[in-house]
Amino acid sequence: MTPSTSSSVPAAPQAEHSLTRSQRLDRLPFTRKHGKLLGASGIGWALDAMDVGLISFVIAALSVHWGISKGDGSLIASAGFAGMAIGASVGGLLADRIGRRSVFALTLLVYGLATGGSALAMGVGTLIVLRFVVGLGLGAELPVASTLMSEFAPARIRGRVIVWLEAFWALGWILAAVIGTFVAASGPTGWRWALAVGLVPAAYSLVVRWGMPESVRFLEQKGRHDEAETIVRSFEETAEQSARGQTADGPSGTVGAEPAPGAAREASEASEASEATVRAAAPDAVGEIPQADTVESTGGIWSRALRRRTAGLWAVWFCINLAYYGAFIWIPTLLVERGFTLTQSFTFTLIITLAQIPGYAMAAWLIEVLGRRWTLTVFLTGSALSAIGYGLADSEATIIAAGCALSFFNLGAWGALYAIGPELYPTAVRGTGTGAAAAFGRIASMLAPFLVPVLVVAGGQTLAFVCFAIAFALAAAAAFTLPEQRGRALAQ
């Protein structure tokens, strides 16, 4: 499904020299080049989800084949989340200094190699160390990828584009469920073969590094105006070709190929070429130039202008991480404890995971209809109610029904959250802001695997899921404090 552009309002062509490069990107329709960038980023996103999802199946398998305790399982899961907390924070800072694309590629390489190495682990200690390294890469990738995509997406459908990027998480988790069900559960060494698949992201890092463009806003911040102009013109040319009904995708034929430096040095030449593009394009190929967020970056993410946004975003991240990872990391193991076989447990989890897809689809539609704040609040409220239902479920049918509802609402909420984050910050601190929020949320991810066994002992699975419901409700309240950014251009 391609994000709709039907909501755009045509505007009369303006003199190109009066527009910034960001405005020229914001007014474009969703083109094939946007689609390729979304696909390339989404594959990396899906591989990340696959790795996170696999560990829940690996822990369940090791509890059967190695007889590991809940404490050991918690350590394995939390080690990855500890790495993710550090990775998200450092990754965001690096993205604001060396570029979004470079950090994105590096994260894939790091966690791909570490996951492949985890397949050779001979003990719990080694697996814990390697999961920490995996977490460094995983934690950095998600905020960096969402920031990069946000900075290219047309303003009028930016939220929808980011939800569709987050929807690749469902594909990765479904792949993890398939691998867990048919590989990890296949025998005593099945979990090793499941983790060996994690080497794929390492190879894909080369595609990201050489096949994707760098953020135009980042390039301008670093004074690399020729490269920025070349990339913007390539997107404009693709829009022109689409309007004319052509099938070519620009001279390079790839998303990120960048012509030799100096190709766009003549400002007058760039202006004339862009004006020609505007004149040639169909009326709906150029949308309105949206009003930009005017928040300032002076003083960092905790400045007077940004502190309220940062506090609200951090609160949502913390609560949603606590509830999501507390539930979904332990669902396969908790199902085994209810008396289901390992294969049954993994099959139920696969069915529940499939409900993520319609959740993302609904969120992608609502986010440009209701707006970011209301969409996030509605889905978090639905997650809270579903968590209570799952905790009270006492049959196969009710477990699957409540689990699917939890999956539907929770992952729709994640999509809206990733759309909101980059929109709250100016370019200079966008990577830092989104990364820091993700890092704070990962603290909850670390706590969740240890919290679940304690809650189950104290009051059974019902108590655990009631606590998750409370966390979702608190996240919903925090979400409503964030500013609505629908239809606005990103702050410079």
Give, for all 492 residues of the chain, the pLDDT tens digit.
445 443 333 343 444 457 888 888 888 889 999 998 998 888 888 888 888 888 888 888 888 888 888 788 888 888 888 898 898 888 888 888 888 888 888 888 888 888 888 889 888 999 999 999 998 988 888 788 888 898 898 888 888 998 899 889 888 888 888 888 888 777 888 888 988 887 787 777 777 777 789 889 889 988 899 999 999 999 989 888 877 765 444 434 444 444 444 444 444 444 444 444 444 443 334 566 667 667 766 678 888 888 899 999 999 999 999 998 888 877 877 887 777 877 788 788 888 888 888 999 999 999 989 999 999 999 999 999 999 998 888 888 888 999 999 999 998 999 899 889 888 888 888 888 888 898 899 889 888 878 888 888 898 888 999 999 999 999 999 999 998 888 777 777
d(CA 452, CA 270): 58
Angle between helices 124-150 and 158-182 (to 10 degrees): 160
Continuous H helices in 158-306: 158-182, 190-196, 200-211, 216-221, 225-243, 267-280
Environment class of 253 (CB within 10 Å of its CB; exposed 0-12, middle 13-18, buried 19+)? exposed
Q: How far is CA 304 from CA 196, 298, 364, 446, 488, in A?
A: 47, 9, 32, 30, 21
d(CA 238, CA 177): 38
> Taken in order 255, 437, 127, 94, is the CA torsion positive or negative?
positive
Give the residue from 416, 407, 358 showing the smallest Cα distance to 387: 407
Q: Which residue type sits at 277?
A: T
Q: What is this structure's pTM?
A: 0.76
Q: Which residue type sits at 206?
A: L
